[in-house]
Structure 1
């Protein structure tokens, strides 16, 4: 594994580690995702995932996806063939699919998690992200801890480029150093509904966003409080990625987080 620059991570709230995942593993994840898509029959109902209006939050299909493998469509693309219309697959690929399980628990991921200070890492959530050519939607500025909150905050994102990602096809953007600020919002269960609670109205810091260009096989590490985003993909190139979110078992995972797994206990890397 490449040496981890903990000083840069503490300063910026992110790392880009080139050549982290072997090309054969990238091939395997993309091939397995294509098989899952080919086997998927959406029927008459297609749940759209949109960070713009959070309409999916009212859908039971989304709410139950924390312990399932569910498929979500791009806004405005529901009339496209399924393979060209999906936004993502989530959120328990790492536990329920043998290919994703095997690769997600590679020793290099475990070693990285421990080096970042996660003493008892648990794999909480996984997503296969499509960012389709020409229609891949924008993801607005957010903090991962908004959606996956622990006390103290321990959520850490591992984002793996399965295609070259750059500004043209919607790579990640980040505000370096802004992870030292407060958690602004929480997306959580309120009764039987999902709602966004405003915690702090402090605006994002006036920092120039940095494009996190990532070649295929690169890993982007994201601190749970780091504001990050991605622009829409209007290019003719796809931008597939695989994302894992980890928490530390020593922290309290809040019972009103949207993602709950009553029938699927969390596992670490073993």
Structure 2
């Protein structure tokens, strides 16, 4: 599959976005952006779309950088542009540029993250997911907890729509409440060219797909979800690319153990190479090593 961009967002779309943009105020009666209903929804369902969108300048910059990242890295053919925020380009040897950490340290995103996981926050990963039109691969049902050397197991991801993310081009899908028992679940490897990764497909006995919820997003919208929440996405059968930037955070009460990666044989999951970044507060557990991994 070729990873050549068609415009992720056109200038006309960005101009229209800027014209119609209305800034989100703080949550009523509180210092944060999220309302209590949104926090309750996250805790109940394992995912939540806040009433918030990136400002036009930030979205425009993210869209431009996403297009350049895809165009500069034709060797990435599976849609996973992992670690563009690392100077080295991470384990996938991306050609990248400065500026990706600006999104990871965006004050509004960290404020919302703090409302969900507390004031001491570590970024451990970031990935641009880019599905080409007509042929973009599917993401199998899975739990992210299956892949990670984190103790206690905790991560909240924020997945930002860079393009429109709709049913026809492979928006994210979630099984509501599937995080509640905090189970990793049974995953199997599948050697299929039409999947975004082959290292973990959740056993069908562990979920009821009829309960799945499609989360369609406009550019600049985002969904927060828990590490144990079952999620996936269909193939991109639409006429335009589907692009989204995901950033993954742990509360620093958890330990990210670079030496415990059990997937060193899987190219897409080289967790021992990931650099940790303390983006807010302090390292509470005192065990996280901010010198390990690639620069």
Range into which the TM-score falls when normalised by the shorter chain = 0.7 to 0.9
Aligned pair 1:161/2:154, yes or no? no
1:251 to 254, 267, 271: 254
Specify which structure has the higher proportion of strand: 1
Q: Does 1:267 align with 2:277?
A: yes
1:183 aligns with 2:184: yes
Counterpart of 2:290 in structure 1 is: none
Contiguous gaps of at least 5 residues in structure 1: 47-71, 75-86, 188-194
Quote the Cα distance in structure 2 between the aligned partners of 1:129 and 1:197: 17
Q: Could you state the TM-score of these two structures normalised by the residue count of structure 1?
A: 0.72
Indicate the residue corresponding to 2:65 in structure 1: 32
Rate the CA distance shift 1:108–1:185 in 2: closer, same or farther, 3 A: farther
Shift of 1:17: 1.9
Return the alpha-carbon distance in structure 2 between the equivalents of residues 7 and 159 of structure 1: 19
Partner of 1:14: 47
Q: CA deviation at 1:199?
A: 11
Distance 1:143 1:24, change over 3 A: same
When residues 124 and 237 of structure 1 are mapped into structure 2, their CA distance, relative to the original with a 3 A threshold, is same
- Asked whether 1:136 is paired with 2:136, we answer yes
Equivalent pair of 2:34/2:115 in contact (CA under 8 Å): no
Instruction: Tell me the alpha carbon deviations over residues 63-100 of structure 1, each in whole angstroms, 9 at most, x when there is no partner.
Output: xxxxxxxxx213xxxxxxxxxxxx13112x23434221
Within-5 A mapping of 1:1-270: 2-4=33-35, 5-40=38-73, 46=75, 72-74=76-78, 87-91=79-83, 93-96=84-87, 97-181=97-181, 182-185=183-186, 203-205=206-208, 208-254=211-257, 255-257=259-261, 258=263, 259-261=270-272, 265-269=275-279
* TM-score using structure 2 length: 0.67
**Matches of 2:173 and 2:200, distance apart in 1:** 24
CA distance in 2, matches of 1:11, 1:241: 24
Compared CA separation, residues 185 and 112, structure 1 to 2 (3 A): farther
Q: CA deviation at 1:37?
A: 3.8
Question: CA-to-partner distance for each residue in 1:5-55, whole Å, 9 max, x for gaps?
Answer: 111111100001244322321211121233334444x5xxx4xxxxxxxxx
Q: 1:109 to 1:225 in 2, by over 3 A?
A: same
Alpha-carbon shift at residue 103 of structure 1 (Å): 2.0
| CA distances 1:237-256 after superposition (whole Å, capped 9, x unpaired) | 11111001111222122432
Count how many residue pairs are aligned between Structure 1 and Structure 2. Answer: 220
How far does residue 183 in structure 1 lie from its aligned partner after superposition? 1.0
Q: How many angstroms apart in 2 are the aligned matches of 1:197 and 1:235?
A: 25
> Alpha carbon RMSD of aligned pairs, Å?
2.7
CA contact (8 A) 1:185 1:196 kept: no
